[in-house]
Amino acid sequence: MFAKSGDGKESEPSTSFSSIQWSQPFRNIEFPEILTATKNFDESLVIGGGGFGKVYKGSIINGAGLVVAAIKRMGSASDQGASEFWTEVNMLFKLRHCNIVSLIGYCIHEHEKILVYEFMPNGTLDDHLHKRFTPLSWLRRLNICIGAGRGLRYLHNDTGLDSGVIHSDFKSSNILLHETWAAKISDFGLSKTCPTNQPSTHVKTLVKGTYGYFDPVYYQTGILTRKSDVYAFGVVLLEVLCRKCAVDETLDKEQWGLVPWAQDYIKEGNLKHIIDSDIRGEISPQCLKEFVKTIDRCLNNSQKHRPTMVEVVASLESALTLQENYNMQAASGTIFGRVVNMLPFPANGENSGISSSLQIFWTYSLYFCVSLFAYMEYVCN
């Protein structure tokens, strides 16, 4: 926790969370080090920004050496105040998971509020989907969704602390991507804690977040639950499938909402109209069915009828298995067909001296070997 000292200033966090182990010490970073790392906030080092301010790329001492870091500087006109700043520091101080971004440290200096994170070379999912238009295979998109889902599952259920966490501002721009394309959830300024042993627990709060991702129940009542995160996760799944923004002015629906636009086509079973054309030929029918079913459940208007993140991740992992099996069978069939066409089987009526039963034996033996080869090649890649 962070406490206020006698002079009214916030002190450094206590280390009472013994169950959380850090590979490097979490620390209060001095302002001169921030200035050195950012070359006095050189604009050429800016790698991102938003309502909070700007993010700079710089090198920070972490443990025994320098590491590349993302340095988030809260602007003077930032939408996020001191409360959100300390909420994020407190949350990331307590949390540790491979799908949650790591906080290296923080800096408070006069009016400056700065957070220093591990650097994510591949930016955000939002960047790749909607700004850079990066070619993303269906398998890569599916794995990113699973990684982000595991991060939310950890927050809701598996922190190892007395309370779970409701993120409350989950969106594609808050999914950071490692150089390996592993997904990591970021931005915990609006997060709330909730008891992990009460599945229906909720927090009554002022509505904050990002339009397009709002749980309708939360938006109307101010009642925030873990199922509010599940709804937002469903919106992200739609973004990944359709490659359209949560709020998209090109859509022909009132207020340009992705959810109502896509839900109409899902109800009609007209999925071809909403799938990103870049991946339409990659998705297996079984995988698509499971993925869309997961989206539909996440976006249910009733919070109690939405799945938990445990169930969501299980469904996505099932969809991944279906897709991998489909890919392996397609690869195996293609290779086998090519090899069989090259075999010197006799034409009809020729006397080859090889019995039909022997041909069948060699054909199935070859099929087994080619299938095994295709599987090993797929796994290695």
Question: By the 8 A CB rule, do 117 and 38 touch?
Answer: no
Question: By the 8 A CB rule, do 251 and 261 touch?
Answer: yes
d(CA 124, CA 48) in angstroms, rounded, equals 10
Helix, coil or strand: residue 6: coil
- Sign (positive/negative) of CA torsion 273, 276, 277, 283? negative
- Between the CA atoms of 260, 302, 275 and 156, what dihedral angle is there, to the nearest 10 degrees? 130
Question: By the 8 A CB rule, do 96 and 21 touch?
Answer: yes
CB-count exposure of residue 1 (10 Å: 0-12, 13-18, 19+): exposed
Determine how β-strand 103-109 pairs with β-strand 27-28.
parallel
- Phi–psi pair at 139, nearest 5 degrees: -60, -40
Q: Which residues of 252-278 are buried (b: 16+ CB within 10 A; e: fewer)?
A: eeeebbbbebbbebbeeeebeebbbee
d(CA 51, CA 350) in angstroms, rounded, equals 78
Structure tokens at 77: 């006109």
- Phi–psi pair at 192, nearest 5 degrees: -130, 150
Helix, coil or strand: residue 248: coil
Residues 6+ apart with CB under 8 A from 358: none
d(CA 75, CA 63) in angstroms, rounded, equals 28
Among 169, 187, 215, 229, the one annotated catalytic? 169
- Sign (positive/negative) of CA torsion 94, 167, 315, 136? negative
Q: Report which residue type is found at 258.
A: L
Helix, coil or strand: residue 275: coil
Catalytic site residue 296? no
C-alpha Rg value of the chain to the nearest Å: 25
Q: Which residues are catalytic?
A: 169
